[in-house]
């Protein structure tokens, strides 16, 4: 099996790092991965190749030995609660691209991952954050979050990256509808809406009691 994918870092009880590969349901490790100073919860983008027939000695029976290369670490940020943001305001993201935003369930949280194009950093770097402007309404089981982009010191060149955000701790085993508002010049999302305030996309998910 060979994939080029995102994933999350975990560690064994003895501290050996391994990678849970998004969407595949498998966990892998390698000398290259173990030589890096990753923390549990770090998010990576890497090329992963697994030969299931030639595993040799494994660090655990559920963690496969793999060739892992082209490792790129990207941000996994907490969401921000800000009830002073009564109206959505944001600079315009150059592009939200490459993939639909997707959800992963980790052991203690749920994360939203997307790819975007942003201005390169100047003396004031650009930033992207996910804001919850009011407390979750457990009655409606719907929450609206804001992608807030600050272009910082804008330059001619741009850079692309993945970014992950930890979502609020919604109730488990419950269908939750999350609406994300954003401003972008371009987007290849297929299921989107638009109103006077912003563009938006939404998804419904159900976080299981027990996650990877």
Range of the domain at 161: 76-206
| 116 lies in the same domain as 138 | yes
Does residue 154 lie within any of the structural domains?
yes
- Tell me what pLDDT residue 142 has: 93
Look up residue 156 and give its two tokens: 């001619």
Alpha helix segments (H runs only) across 26-169: 31-34
- Tell me what pLDDT residue 211 has: 60
pLDDT digits (tens, 9 = 90+) for 74-116: 989 999 999 999 899 999 999 987 566 788 887 778 899 998 8
Alpha helix segments (H runs only) across the chain: 31-34
| 24 lies in the same domain as 118 | no
pLDDT < 50: residue spans in the chain: none
Please say whether the beta carbons of 110 and 125 come within 8 A. Answer: no
| 150 lies in the same domain as 81 | yes
């Amino acid at each position: 099996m060979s994939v080029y994918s995102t994933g999350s870092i975990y560690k064994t009880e003895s501290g050996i790092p391994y990678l849970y590969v998004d969407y595949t349901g498998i966990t892998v490790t390698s000398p290259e991965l173990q030589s890096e100073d990753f923390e549990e919860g770090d998010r990576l983008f890497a090329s992963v190749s697994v030969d299931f027939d030639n595993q040799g000695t494994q660090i655990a029976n559920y963690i496969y030995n793999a060739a892992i290369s082209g490792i790129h670490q990207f941000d996994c940020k907490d969401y921000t609660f800000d009830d002073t943001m009564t109206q959505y305001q944001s600079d315009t993201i150059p592009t939200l691209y490459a993939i639909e935003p997707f959800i992963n369930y980790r052991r203690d949280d749920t994360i939203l991952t997307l790819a975007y194009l942003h201005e390169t950093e100047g003396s004031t770097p650009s930033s992207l954050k996910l804001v919850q402007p009011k407390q979750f309404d457990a009655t409606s089981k719907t929450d609206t979050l804001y992608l807030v982009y600050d272009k910082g010191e804008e330059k001619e060149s741009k850079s692309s990256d993945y970014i992950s955000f930890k979502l609020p701790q919604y109730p488990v085993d419950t269908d939750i509808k999350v609406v994300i508002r954003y401003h972008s010049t371009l987007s290849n999302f297929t299921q989107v809406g638009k109103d006077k305030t912003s563009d938006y996309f939404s998804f419904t998910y159900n976080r299981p009691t027990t996650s990877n």
